[in-house]
Structure 1
């Protein structure tokens, strides 16, 4: 069980909620803060004070006063009118995280909603009701208005949701789970949709997938080292300590651990003095991407515990401050950085693929073909990988450098963080397929070199890879092999599967 406090949610807890189906509960003290904040809103409404978003319209309509009798209609109109999402829905995992992060933000007790709103968000999580949220249509300030409006619709018994994997109306999903729709009152609609939870939810899922992809990149690169009889001297600890980046040093150690007791690697001067950069600089390039992941994780863990709506209520309602915490710039930058970091894993992987298939760069059969000329082997696998790498370069263009004014120029600078987050997911998918292609080629090279000569750990990488892609003895439809191998990468907890084997395999060796 994971307890939401509004302050302490972390990546490890997110993993438990997503992949171990851990239940979610609200902290009692946090719920007391929510109730205190709500009393402040009710006092503002009853005294008819002029406070943005509580007794006024929204955005450019902030100067329009709202009568007390129209408060509920105002909130309903807000949710319906702002539900302008476009395109395919986010994955259910993203929708699930949006619910969790929105509940967690409200538990800070600064948003003025009733406790029942938080309870219902958590009910949706625990009953596995995931709102259908279109991916496109957010500017990333004033937060993710359109995506979060689609999420809020389900609380009202409107919109659409996935209930236990089946798509249906929001009302049907609530009924099947035995839940009642909410009627929103003052401030609650605005509190639900004024936030960065769509970009943050997709961003967190991106990070979790990228983390495992990084471990996969290291392990697959180690197998490629053996396929190309790579020189291990470049991975010695001293050279990496001399530069000083801990992430670079960690990658070098992982490669050394993978390759321990290999009979296929070489030392400098045995076959050649130096390897090409795509082999020799694995720690430097992969390590730099790991540095970016560290930055991204820090920002995401701050944001998933952040109050990002407007206005915020302080000192029991004595201060109600309109600000801009809904602006997604920190996450926009983080996602753009993550896009570049993951794209570089694909960039250098594709260069290693080229070295595996190009007969001018190795002593293996041309394109790893068992019958060169009559059969093309891995020739077009490299084409496909190159295509994905090129596409990544377009997707990696920073979304955060763009802005466009909205709401009659009241909202005149926006983050485009949700676009960056979506493009990052696309880059991760492309990079997964590039690494899958390298894995296939590295396994085929190992077949030619002698699988029995692999190190104990890379042999395990080889054997697992062969469960998705059999050895290639003649041309076939390689699309299926590439997709199965990519699916294997996505499904693995690579760190737990291979990094955790270190002690056992070294003892066996």
Structure 2
């Protein structure tokens, strides 16, 4: 789960506001999920590598050459979807692309964060770099101009069914190119027309196929996927850490994470979790205390951490690979191959791979939260020498009793949300698009599950820290001592009842602040 430093060529270029910032060239190299995420959040200037620009330009010239031919060319001289057999007058082919964008901009709901819009732009640019979409270099360069000026399209969250492309959100992503829609500028959302005028840019008049090229493909759900995959990696590492604190606070045995045990398993991910636990627990005397289970048979939520966390890691690794492949693929239809003089209609606009992957990851992350909640419950159970509900004076004080209720409520919500969206399809476009992925719903559900998982881990962190403080004979590991020093600077020990929601929010903030560093330091 450690991130890889970018390998793509960088230089220095002036920022739109005056200061310098690096420039990242878009090349034909394969970009990792982490690289894409880092580019979106650090927002360097973007440029096309010369060979990429040449490939795009060749594709645009090919469309210009064939657009006047007397044959059906979908998206160039025909209508869209089930209107694919309706020919368009050559004089109206440019109007067709404009009308395509405005008619397909049907997104609703809150705007996605600016980083998601940036990710969608970036993944869209990766599709265009192959030169098979028929978009012109001028239009691609307009997207780069907007990015480099920090004028980022504002995209409503909902409206995609994850096939035929993410038509509605991607239409909103493209509207500023023609001077419509809204954009993020300096932390505000403003009309695109005014932002373009401020930059001295005129709206573009799209050429044949360009409107469809801008809206086709599943770059929106892949952008949501990149964001979630990075976040998952950090939460998975953090879960090993919170589990190690709970293991110490609960005076667990030292048996279930031993190397010799995990050499009997052919699942390397289990061994990685066990290795993390050995590292995180080194120097602790938790397994020698009077509160230990004399049979060394700790509850499964502790004893099976390597197996459950390891299974989550297996799912995460699979999903990460799928999403990386998707982001580096060409997601569009039709595709144009100038070197073969062929126009090929196909299904690269279908987001089933992303939808399946996100639904699978939702199940895994729901389980990661589930087992963390079970550990929290055990810490509050009054066993292993700990007081009921981790209250110094149980009865007068309720301690963290109801914090576990909150955790249970979030886990219950996750279990409902873990039902796959991709098992459903609702036909669209007069049955021309009769099977869709519903991958956008998969992405939204996963995002909520991750929010809940973050809270559940934060509640476990709160409970584990309290258990360690109340476990008077415990000598913690160096890792735990360092983590607890930092944590207690933000969340004081609970000596008597106070408003627990404040402590939960502070614990979540602490987790958010440190999760990337924790994950990077572990296997």
Same fold (TM over 0.5): yes
Match of 1:401, SS state, is coil
- Unaligned runs of 5+ residues in structure 2 are 1-9, 11-23
| CA drift at 1:440 | 0.2
| 2:341 pairs with 1:308 | no
| 2:482 pairs with 1:460 | yes
In the other structure, the counterpart of 1:432 is: 454
Structure 2 matches for 1:71-110, cutoff 5 A?
71-110=93-132
C-alpha root-mean-square deviation of aligned residues, in Å? 1.9
Bigger mean CA offset, 386-395 vs 64-73: 64-73
Hey, what's the Cα distance between the residues in 2 that align with 1:17 and 1:95?
A: 12
In the other structure, the counterpart of 1:287 is: 310
| CA drift at 1:433 | 0.2
Match of 2:183, SS state, is strand
Structure 2 matches for 1:13-92, cutoff 5 A?
13-92=35-114
Bigger mean CA offset, 64-73 vs 292-301: 64-73
| 2:333 pairs with 1:333 | no
Correspondence for 2:408 among 386, 407, 413: 386
1:6–1:105: 8 Å Cα contact kept in structure 2? no
| CA drift at 1:266 | 3.8
Structure 2 matches for 1:145-160, cutoff 5 A?
145-160=167-182
Hey, what's the Cα distance between the residues in 2 that align with 1:69 and 1:331?
A: 38
Q: Would you tell me which structure has more helix in proportion to its own residues?
A: 1
Correspondence for 2:366 among 312, 326, 343: 343
| CA drift at 1:6 | 4.7
In the other structure, the counterpart of 1:132 is: 154
Q: Residue 42 and residue 379 in structure 1: after superposition, are their counterparts in 2 closer, same or farther (change >3 A)?
A: same
1:204–1:300: 8 Å Cα contact kept in structure 2? yes
1:231–1:275: 8 Å Cα contact kept in structure 2? yes
In the other structure, the counterpart of 1:200 is: 222
Hey, what's the Cα distance between the residues in 2 that align with 1:377 and 1:410?
A: 59
Hey, what's the Cα distance between the residues in 1 that align with 2:351 and 2:293?
A: 53
Hey, what's the Cα distance between the residues in 1 that align with 2:451 and 2:297?
A: 32
Correspondence for 2:139 among 111, 114, 117: 117
In the other structure, the counterpart of 2:272 is: 250
2:240–2:277: 8 Å Cα contact kept in structure 1? yes
In the other structure, the counterpart of 1:506 is: none
1:99–1:122: 8 Å Cα contact kept in structure 2? no
Hey, what's the Cα distance between the residues in 1 that align with 2:132 and 2:520?
A: 43
In the other structure, the counterpart of 2:247 is: 225
Hey, what's the Cα distance between the residues in 1 that align with 2:318 and 2:139?
A: 33
| 2:521 pairs with 1:500 | yes
Q: Residue 165 and residue 74 in structure 1: after superposition, are their counterparts in 2 closer, same or farther (change >3 A)?
A: same
Bigger mean CA offset, 74-83 vs 176-185: 176-185
> What do residues 341-395 of structure 1 show as CA deviations (whole Å, max 9, x unaligned)?
1111100000000001112x44211111122112211011000000000000011
| CA drift at 1:501 | 8.5
| CA drift at 1:470 | 1.5
2:41–2:115: 8 Å Cα contact kept in structure 1? no
Hey, what's the Cα distance between the residues in 2 that align with 1:139 and 1:254?
A: 40
> What do residues 32-53 of structure 1 show as CA deviations (whole Å, max 9, x unaligned)?
1111111110111233432111
Q: Residue 78 and residue 230 in structure 1: after superposition, are their counterparts in 2 closer, same or farther (change >3 A)?
A: same
In the other structure, the counterpart of 2:34 is: 12
| CA drift at 1:489 | 1.9
TM-score, length-scaled by structure 2: 0.92
Hey, what's the Cα distance between the residues in 1 that align with 2:389 and 2:107?
A: 46
- Unaligned runs of 5+ residues in structure 1 are 503-509
TM-score, length-scaled by structure 1: 0.94
Match of 1:473, SS state, is coil
The total of aligned residue pairs comes to: 500
In the other structure, the counterpart of 1:355 is: 378
Match of 2:146, SS state, is helix
| CA drift at 1:500 | 3.2
